[in-house]
Structures are given as C-alpha cells and as structure tokens.
Structure 1
Amino acid sequence: MIDFTDLSIAIIKRTFHRRFELARITERSDTFRKIVKRLFFEGDDIQVIPRDGSVEVNRSFQLPENTALPSDVLRRMILRSKHIFRMDFCICRVSSGCSDYPHDLGCLFLGPGALRISDKVGSIISKEEALEHIERCREAGLVHIIGRNRIDSVWLNSGPYDELLSVCNCCECCCLWRMTPLLSEDIASSITPMEGVSILKDAKSCVLCGRCEEACFTGAISEGGEHHDTGRCLICGRCVERCPKDALKIVMDPDAVDEAVMRVEVLVDVES
C-alpha cells in the first residue's frame, strides 16, 4: 500500500515542471481558479524576508546599535515555537534537479501541525538546531519565506492549515513562487514583501549590466535593469546583493521586524 507522503512526493516530482502552465490556467479559467484556490491557497498569508546583507536600516531615526535585521522575524517565531520540524530536503530543488543550491536545506515547519508530518521527510528538532539551519540557508544564498501556506498542510497531510507555519528557504531558480506573475491576482496576492521594507534605485549608478535581472525570480526586472515592475517585486534582496555598482538598496523601517512578526503570529499558534 502506497503511503500518503510517498504519493505526494511522487506527484510533486512529476508535475512540478508544469507549475507555470497550471498557473496560467488560473487566469484563463474561473472554474479552475476557484478549485485551485480552495484546495491549495485559501487562507494563505506569506511574507518574503529580504536577505540581511541587502538591507539598510532607515537612518531617519536615532537607533540603538542592536537594531533588528529581517531574519529576526524567523528567529523570534522559532524561539516561541513549541514544535519545530525540519525537512531533510527541499522538495522544489529536488523536483527541479537544481544544480546551483543544496538539496538538503529544506523547509522548517512550526506549530502543532509539525507533529503530524511523516518522519520519512524529516524530524522534530530543537530551537537551537532550527536557528543553525536558517543560518546555513542564509550562507548558501537562499531567501526565507514565512507564512501560512495551505499547500504544505495538504501535501504533508499535517491537519488544519492554520496549525502549520511554513518557513521556506528558496533559490531563484526552483522556488514554487516563481509562478506568481502567472497566477490570478486573488491567488498571487497571498504572497507579499515583508512589512516595512522598500527598494530604491540610483539610476545614475546603474550601468544596465543585467545582473539584477538574472537574480530576480518573479520577472520584476527587465531590459538589463532599466525597468523595475514594483507590482511584481517581492523585495527579496538578491538583486541588491548582486549589483556591482551598488545602484540598488533596500530600506527597512525601524519597526519593520515588529510589524512583520505581528502579521505572522496571528496565523498559527506556534506556542500551543
């Protein structure tokens, strides 16, 4: 008899490369859109956390030396969590056959739903191990995405979607959310930039080398860097880190981390 988790993994591996095609259908077919949203995306609220090295804290205010960094959103939620599950692999990179980023740096899952995930894909870990894991992910060049993501509770069979908080560690080549620009607006709007951050460009410094365009996983940057679609941009910070002329920067408000945590903490009771 086939185990549910084994079946889910097999289905994802066989269909992952078609996610762009399926995303386009949500724009063309109202019936398909409603079915997909109800099964996999309803109730989602997901934030992209910019990479720490790409952020400049807004200096309009007098700030303490220990001003929080974007990754502190994850740190705070991990330290509050009673149950933390770490996947032994990234299902997206494995399904895509990624050759640029490690396959073994999988998602973290917080909340009571973490206890229901099969030990075939990972294990319950300590807070210290979870903090070490996200540090390894940052060092590998991955971007954190945190929030309530119904599709994870479905394929992991973890129970109610509001009992599982996902912390994904994504690369620009294989991330599920690369399909965001192709999704219907009501589904795509469930994933947004972190609260309190914005991206700025110094047009005079830009030499249109295209490095930022190569790094963008949502197609928000085009024409070698000349055009920036702020509606598509999730402010992940990859373009900032790869710009050779420092023409881009992300500015973060002093209370941005607090605002982001407030948005996340109501999604799943990670302390229960």
Structure 2
Amino acid sequence: MAKTCSKVPLVSKIVDKLLFERDDIQVLPRDGTTMNLSIKDIQIDKDIPVTPNVVFPSEVLREVIKRSNYHFIMNFCICRVSSDCKDYPHELGCLFLGRGTQKISTKLGRVVSANEAIEHIEKCNKAGLVHIIGRNKIDSVWLNTGPKEDLLSICSCCPCCCLWKMTPDLPENISGGLTSMMGVEINFDSKLCSGCGKCALGSCFVNAITLKDGKAVIDKKNCRICGRCAEICENKAITVLITSDAVVRSIERIDKLVDVKSE
C-alpha cells in the first residue's frame, strides 16, 4: 500500500484522507542516548555525571499519562504478533489515552491506572523499544473510538512496527506525520566513526544510515532521531543532542492534538 501511494497520487490522497489525515506523531529518543546541548562540548571520552538537569525523553510520556483521565493497555502488540517477532516481547502492547479509550473492546486489552501505565512504558523501555506518541488516525479507525481528537496513541516499537515499515515507502505528505521529538537533533562525528557498520545494519527503522568510504552517512531528512544508532555505537560517534526545554515543547505540541483530561 505504501509503495502504491508513492506511485499513484490519487491513491495517496484517498489513503491519507481515510487513515492518516492530520497525523502528528513524535518519536522519542531512547533514554540514555541524549546529551544536553549545553554540555555537548565536553570531551566524549570522559564520564558525564548525571544531574537533575539531564533531560530524559520518557518524561514526556510520564507527564501526559499523569494528566490523562483514561488509560488503556493492549494485551499484545499486533505488529509483533503478526510478524512473529523473535527479538521483542509480544505482550508489550500499545498504550492509549483519552476518552476514546472507553470505546475500545476489553477483548483487546484492559483499563489501567496512571501508575500502571507508567510501569508499562518503563517495561517497554527496558526491553529496548522505541516510544512514539501522538495522534494517529489509523488507530481511531481500526479501534472504532470515534473522532481522532479523542485518542492519543503511545506505541513502543521495534523493527516489526507497521508504521515504521511503511514510512520509507510512503509519500512525504503522509510520512511527514511521523517526526522527531521537539528540541532534539542528531550529531555525527566522522573522526570517531570506525566504519564498523553496526549502525547501518538493522539498527535504523527507516534505513537512514549507509556506509560510504568507510564511514557512516546519516540521511537527516529521513532520520527520526530514535537514538538506536547512538545506543549501539561503541565509539560514540553518534549522539542525540537535546535542549533543556524539549520535554515542555513536546508536551505543548501533544496538548493541541488530544485533550486527555476530557471526561
């Protein structure tokens, strides 16, 4: 479907209208891969002490979860189950917030408290999954939850995720709905790159990394800054830089999409 959308504009318009209209989803870098912009010039081979000023992207999830009146966890990840994923837990499903969750069938999952929802995303983080958060129309359609403005999706993704699989083949008017977190940027130091290729071989969900002349090359246009490459790079040639106000900016962006406080 994704490839057809790229080739046939009319199909792209129809699919966008039905499943992706006005999507706005942020990719949160994995905790532990980010470095504050204010300390980016510290020598890379020295220990950087963890201080209260260090920004953890997952704080976006915790804050939004606390604000929401409704929390629903899927009993399984539909993507990992359908792909028979061998590397990540099938039972760690999506988390949904907002009043739209009241319409989701309890055959698919369960209503939980805010604390249980936070415990869930912590389990997902420990399992090595990548968090994405935002309004995803396709979820409101297949779950039949009503207006897309009533449902906020928090997915914890691995390479099996259908959205990530489609993104490289979707036209920009659709794939542009999946973007990096507010206030982050990817930084690459070619001098530290050994050309081992680990970052290019399977770590990038959108195939934004290639090797050229013995060095990694990052396509920043396609990169969503999930941090997996930074996490796997033993030479610390790749880092994710984050501003001190990144969490606040990201939450403000989310607040405009779905009113999770609404009864």
Q: CA deviation at 1:208?
A: 1.1
Is 1:126 matched with 2:130? Answer: no
Aligned to 2:157: 170
- The answer on whether the counterparts of 1:109 and 1:165 sit within 8 Å (CA) in structure 2 is yes
**Residue 101 in structure 1 maps to residue 80 in structure 2:** no
1:192 equivalent in alignment to 2:179: yes
User: What stretches of structure 2 of length at least 5 have no aligned partner?
Assistant: 41-49
2:237 is matched with 247
Structure 1 residues 123 and 170: CA distance shift in structure 2, 3 A:
same
Give the Cα–Cα distance (whole angstroms) in 1 for the partners of residues 23 and 246 of structure 2: 21
Mind listing any 5+ residue stretches in structure 1 that lack a counterpart?
A: 1-21
Question: 1:161-240 counterparts in 2 under 5 A?
Answer: 161-213=148-200, 214-223=202-211, 226-240=216-230
Q: How many residues align?
A: 250
Question: Structure 1 CA distance, aligned partners of 2:161 and 2:95?
Answer: 17
Q: Distance in 1 between matches of 2:79 and 2:104?
A: 17
Alpha-carbon deviations, 1:11-38, whole Å to 9, x = none? xxxxxxxxxxx10111111111111001
SS in 1 for 2:199: helix
Cα drift, residue 187 of structure 1: 0.3
Matched-pair contact (CA < 8 Å) for 1:173–1:217: no
Alignment match, 1:16: none
Q: Deviations over 1:60-112 (max 9, x none)?
A: 59x97244310011111000000000000001111111000000000000000
TM-score scaled by length of structure 1: 0.89
Residue 28 (structure 2) aligns with: 49
Any runs of at least 4 consecutive aligned residues in structure 1 with deviations exceeding 3 A, and if so which? none
Deviation at residue 175 of structure 1 after TM alignment: 4.4
Q: How many angstroms apart in 1 are the aligned matches of 2:197 and 2:99? A: 44
In the alignment, what sits opposite 2:19?
A: 40
The yes-or-no answer on 1:139 pairing with 2:126 is: yes
Partner of 2:4 in structure 1?
25
State TM-score, norm by structure 2: 0.92
